[in-house]
Structure 1
C-alpha cells in the first residue's frame, strides 16, 4: 500500500532525475519544490513561527473534498474540510464489486491533499502535474510534458469552463494597452499567488484571462478529471 509520505517522496525523487535518465523529471521540478512547502508531509522540522500552509481563513471554509459512493438505488455523500485529509485517508473505502465512487475536489488543494488522494487511489502524478502546470514558470520544464502516445494517459481529461464578463470601458487605457497590462498581471498572479503559500485551500483558480473588446472579457477555468479502475469498481 502506498502511503501519503511515500507518494510525496516518489514525486520529489522523480523531480530530481536528470535529463540523462530514461524518464527525466524536468517537468516535475516545480511540483517537487511545491510539495516541500508542507513540511509535515515528510516529518521535516518546521521553521520558526511557520503558519499552517494553504490554510483558509477562519469562517471561510467549506467542504473541500466531497465523496459520492454508489449504492443500491442511491448515492452516499461524505464531505471533508481542508484539515480532514487524514480522516479521508482512513475512512474512505474502495467501492464494492460493480459499484463506483466519485471524488470531487472543490478548488485549490494543498500538498497534503495531493499526497492523500494520490496514494489512496493510486493516481498517476502526471494528473496533478497537468492540473497544476501553473507551478512551472520555465518552458524548458514542459519539454516532455505530454506522452507521445495518447493511449498512455487516456484516463486523464480536461474541460475548459469560460465565463464572459461585461465592463464599461478601460478608462484611459486603449485596448492594446489593456491586453498588455492584463497579460503581465496574470503572469504575476500565477507566480506570486498560485505558486506560493498565499493561495488557500478551496480558492477558485483563474487559468487565463482574455480581453475581447472594450466591453467584454473572458475568464478561463479548468475542470480536470481522472478515471481510475480497481478489480471491483471505479
Structure 2
C-alpha cells in the first residue's frame, strides 16, 4: 500500500527542505510548490492526499489559497506559518484549514498533526462504507436516525442544542472548528456569543466526559475553538 502523497507549499528553502526531509524519512511521497499559483495547479493536477501550506507566499496569501481549494475540494490542509496571532489562526481555520502549526515547530509535532489529519481521511473513507446513520468514537456512539447518544452503552440525555453541538463536532472529527464557525452552523443569526458557547460546551462535557476537567473527547483550542479527538485508529 502506497504512503499518502503530500503537497508541500513553502517558498522558504530551508523550511521546505526540513519538511520534505522529514516526510522522506517517514516514507511519505511528496511534491513541492513555491507559489500560490503553482500550489493550486499542483493540487488540481496531482490530487494529493494532504497539503502543508505556508501563508506568506510571494504571489498570493495562503488564506486565499485555502478558499480557492475549498471551492472544489475537501483536501486536508495543515497550515505551517510564522503568523502566531489568534486572529491569523482563526482566519485560516474559518477559511477551511484543518489545522494550524506555528513556526518554529518541531518535526515530531508536524508528524503528529499529519497523522491526525491522515487518520481523519481514513475514518471518512471507512465511514462511507458503513451505515452513515451511526457514529462511533471510543465510548461515544451517536445514532443520527434515532437522535440518540450512548456513552459506554448507556444512553444519555442531551438538550437539542447540546445534541446539535455534539453532532457538528462528530461530523468534523479531528478538525479544529472555530467559535464563529460553530455559532453560525448551529444557531445561524441567533445572537449567541462565545461565552454562551462555552456554557453549552461545559454542560455537554459534563455528560459525555468521564472527567470533564480533563476531557478526552473534545479538545479546547484556547481563543480559537474546539476539536473532537478521534479515539484510537
Query: TM-score range with shorter-chain normalisation?
Result: under 0.3
Which gives a bigger RCO, structure 1 or 2 (Cα 8 Å, sep 6+)? Answer: 1
Considering only CA atoms, is the larger Rg found in Structure 1 or Structure 2? 1
Q: If each structure's helix is expressed as a fraction of its own residues, which one has the higher value? A: 2
TM-score (norm 2): 0.28
